[in-house]
Each structure stands twice: as structure tokens, then as C-alpha cells.
């Protein structure tokens, strides 16, 4: 319906004619007027459909010429995937470098622990039988130092083992990043589909490039995102015990 | 515990495999093999030279739960001790793993103490069953 026409303008005269024909029992005029009303309504729908089609056409033209969409599909989204993969590579390398050093330091700390403890024990045994040595304060200090060195290096060895375990962050963050990489791949696929459907310019990513990797789990717990998860190992132990394991 | 036990560690992250291998070495277990998912682990297991399986759940290819089911379905491997070491923390998953016959479930990140306790518990249960049976 054109904006300047009201319902009264469009249908008023026809309804009056219809009413008059009904009161006069004028079947021919009545049905002819009914047909005219129906035709007017059909014209209305056709006009609205035409407006809708023009809007859709304009939107598709705009989309087709929207450079940003093809930039996203062809460059930005694949870039995002590459960047995330690079983060995984960097953390992997850093974790392995850390573990290389731990593996080198562990035996050194162990050797120092063992050597200092052996010397301290040897001094204690030797000095027990020799009074002059027994009273020498320098030897007391050396003995105390060796005992402390053995204890300290034992602690260093323990801490190195903890640093080793702390590298699990690489696995946990890696799993989360991999989930985001899969999601980004899905966005890329949908953008590619949209471009194909609208005939937008640009190279479409292949299905193989965009195929999501199999994922048979939910990955690490993410606060505020994960639901129905346990609250740590104690919770799991309770659950397992309840299941007879 | 016998220190000549042969372990297979299955995880798609090489970092995690190395951590577990180091941990087992520290406990005195020097015989540790590695695989990066269920598909590469199964042939090693079928080789018959593994005494203990430690596996992740979420891996490309064959995930840990499918590996566990394949192990339990194979008469030669059915009694192999299996520990799931995973970040998967949904209750339904833990129940599913238990129903599939897992012997222990440790959530990542874990402490050395927890992993040691679970390993020992599984091995003690196995030893008691062997003595009784």
C-alpha cells in the first residue's frame, strides 16, 4: 500500500458498495465488489513482496561488494588460526626447553646432595675417634655446611620435579586454544558459504582446509563456561568410590 | 611395587608425555613407551609387552575412552590396568569411564602425590586380586 493512501481511501467506497448491494440483495454487484476487494488485497501483497525483494537484492549487492567480508574470510580468520597455532608452537617449545634444563639440573642437584651427605657422614665418623679434630671449630662449620648443602640440594631436586609438573599448563592451554582454532575454522567455513551463496568475489576456502578436527571431549574446565563438572580430584575420588572403583 | 613394570603413556601433547615419563622415572620406572593417540597405542598394546596404560581422553584420531573400550574388548588386554589422566571433568564422563572399566581417573593439572597414590592403589588392587585368584 503506498504511504499516502489510507485504508479508508482504498477500501471505503468498495465497502459502501458491498454494503449497499447486500441490503438490496443485489447478488451480481455484491460478488463483483467482493472480487474487486480481493484483487486490491492481492495487489497489496504483490507490492510488499516487490519491496522485500528489492531490499534483499540491495543487501546482497552490498554484501557482494563489501570488501571487509572477503577480507575476513580470506585473510583475517585464517590469520587468526595461524596466530593461535603459533602460540601453541611457542608454548610447546618453551615447555620443552624448560624440561631440557630440568633434566640437566636434576642429576646435578642429586649428585651434590649425595656427595655432601656422604662427606658429612664421613667427617662425623672420623672425628668421633680423634679428640683434636673433634674440637676444631672450622671443621664444625664445614660439617654444618655439608649437612645444609645436602638438605638444600634435596629441596632443589624436589622443586625441579614440581617445575616439571607445572609444565602441564602447555597441555591445558593448548587444548583450550585448539578448541578456539576449531571454532575459528567453523566461522571461516560459514563465511565461505555466505560468500558462495551471494556470489561475492574472492577465493573460497576448501572443505579440507576448513574441516573441523575430531573432538571427542570437552577439554579443560573453563571458569564461567564449563558446566556439570567436578570440583577437583577429591570430587572425582568420591564419584569413583561411589561407582565401586 | 616392581620397578620393571612396562608403561605406555598416551597423550597427543608431547609435553605431557614427557612430564609423565619423567615422573615415572623418578618413581623408579624406567621402561616407559609413548604414543600420541589410541590408533598408535593399540598396536603397541597388542604387541603384549605393556603392563600399565596411562592415557589422556581428548585426542585427535582415537580418543582415550575408545582406547579403553578397545582394550577391555580384547581378551588378551582385558585385565590391563588403565589410568585416565585427563582434563575432562564432566561428571557424566567420569561415570562413562568407570562403566567402561577404567581403574583410576586423575584430573589435570595433578600433583605428583596424587598421581603416585592412584598408581599405587591400582597396583595394590591388582596384586591383591592376583594373590586371591
pLDDT > 90: what percent of chain B?
A: 83
Distance separating alpha carbons of residues A166 and B133, to the nearest angstrom = 40
Q: What is the pLDDT of residues B36-50, one digit of tens each?
A: 999 999 999 999 899
A103 touches chain B (CB under 8 A): yes
Is residue A222 classed as helix, strand or coil in its secondary structure?
A: coil
Task: Please say if the pLDDT value at position A214 is more than 50.
Answer: no
Give B-chain residues touching A169 at CB under 8 angstroms: 109
Distance separating alpha carbons of residues B33 and B6, to the nearest angstrom = 8
Chain B nearest-CA residue for A164? B19
Report for A34-48, A72-86, A224-238, B52-66: range of highest mean pLDDT: B52-66
Q: Characterise B101 by phi-psi region: left (phi > 0), alpha (psi -120 to 50), beta (else).
A: left
Do residues B77 and B105 lie in contact, with contact meaning Cβ atoms separated by under 8 Å? no
Chain B nearest-CA residue for A161? B23
Return the pLDDT at B119.
Answer: 95
Return the pLDDT at A213.
Answer: 45
Chain mean pLDDT for chain A: 83
| Band (A71; pLDDT cuts 50, 70, 90) | confident
Return the pLDDT at A220.
Answer: 80
Task: Please say if the pLDDT value at position B29 is more than 60.
Answer: yes
Q: Number of CB pairs < 8 Å for A and B?
A: 125
A216 touches chain B (CB under 8 A): yes
Task: Please say if the pLDDT value at position A232 is more than 90.
Answer: no
Task: Please say if the pLDDT value at position A212 is more than 50.
Answer: no
Report for A53-62, A72-81, A122-131, B117-126: range of highest mean pLDDT: B117-126
**Do residue B15 and residue A168 have CB atoms under 8 angstroms apart?**
yes
Q: How far is CA A18 from the centre of its chain?
A: 65
Task: Please say if the pLDDT value at position B112 is more than 50.
Answer: yes
| Band (A1; pLDDT cuts 50, 70, 90) | low
What would the mean pLDDT of B63-69 be, rounded to a whole number?
96
Return the pLDDT at A99.
Answer: 96
- The full 3-state SS of chain B, as one line of letters, equals CCCCCCEEEECCCHHHHHHHHHHHHHCCCCCEEEECCHHHHHHHHHCCCCCEEEECCCCCCCCHHHHHHHHHHCCCCCCCCEEEEECCCEHHHHHHHHHCCCCEEEECCCCHHHHHHHHHHHHHHHHHHHHHC
Amino acid at each position: 500500500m503506498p504511504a499516502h493512501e489510507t485504508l479508508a481511501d482504498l477500501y471505503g467506497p468498495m465497502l459502501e458498495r458491498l454494503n449497499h448491494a447486500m441490503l438490496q440483495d443485489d447478488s451480481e454487484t455484491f460478488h463483483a465488489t467482493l472480487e474487486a476487494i480481493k484483487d486490491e488485497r492481492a495487489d497489496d501483497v504483490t507490492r510488499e513482496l516487490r519491496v522485500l525483494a528489492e531490499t534483499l537484492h540491495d543487501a546482497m549487492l552490498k554484501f557482494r561488494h563489501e570488501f571487509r567480508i572477503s577480507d575476513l574470510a580470506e585473510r583475517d580468520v585464517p590469520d587468526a588460526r595461524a596466530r593461535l597455532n603459533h602460540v601453541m608452537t611457542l608454548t610447546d617449545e618453551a615447555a620443552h626447553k624448560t624440561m631440557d634444563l630440568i633434566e640437566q639440573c636434576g642429576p646435578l642437584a642429586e649428585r651434590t646432595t649425595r656427595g655432601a651427605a656422604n662427606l658429612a657422614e664421613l667427617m662425623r665418623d672420623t672425628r668421633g675417634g680423634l679428640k683434636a679434630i673433634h674440637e676444631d671449630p672450622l671443621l664444625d662449620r664445614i660439617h654444618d655446611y655439608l649437612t645444609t648443602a645436602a638438605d638444600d640440594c634435596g629441596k632443589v631436586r624436589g622443586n625441579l620435579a614440581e617445575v616439571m609438573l607445572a609444565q602441564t599448563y602447555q597441555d591445558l592451554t593448548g587444548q583450550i586454544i585448539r578448541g578456539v582454532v576449531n571454532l575459528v575454522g567453523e566461522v571461516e567455513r560459514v563465511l565461505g558459504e555466505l560468500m558462495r551463496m551471494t556470489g561475492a568475489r574472492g577465493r573460497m576456502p576448501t572443505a579440507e582446509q576448513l574441516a573441523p578436527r575430531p573432538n571427542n571431549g570437552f577439554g579443560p574446565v573453563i571458569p564461567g563456561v564449563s558446566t556439570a563438572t567436578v570440583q577437583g580430584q577429591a570430587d572425582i575420588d568420591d564419584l569413583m568410590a561411589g561407582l565401586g572403583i | 611395587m616392581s620397578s620393571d613394570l612396562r608403561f605406555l603413556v598416551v597423550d597427543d601433547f608431547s609435553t605431557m608425555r614427557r612430564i609423565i615419563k619423567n615422573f615415572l622415572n623418578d618413581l623408579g620406572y624406567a621402561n616407559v613407551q609413548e604414543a600420541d593417540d589410541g590408533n598408535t597405542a593399540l598396536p603397541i598394546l597388542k604387541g603384549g609387552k605393556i603392563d600399565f596404560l596411562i592415557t589422556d581422553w581428548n585426542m585427535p584420531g582415537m580418543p582415550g575412552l575408545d582406547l579403553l573400550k578397545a582394550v577391555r574388548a580384547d581378551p588378551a588386554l582385558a585385565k590391563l590396568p588403565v589410568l585416565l589422566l585427563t582434563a575432562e571433568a564432566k561428571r557424566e564422563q567420569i561415570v562413562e569411564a568407570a562403566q567402561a572399566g577404567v581403574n583410576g581417573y586423575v584430573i589435570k593439572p595433578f600433583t605428583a602425590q596424587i598421581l603416585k597414590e592412584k598408581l599405587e592403589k591400582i597396583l595394590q588392587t591388582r596384586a591383591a586380586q592376583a594373590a586371591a585368584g
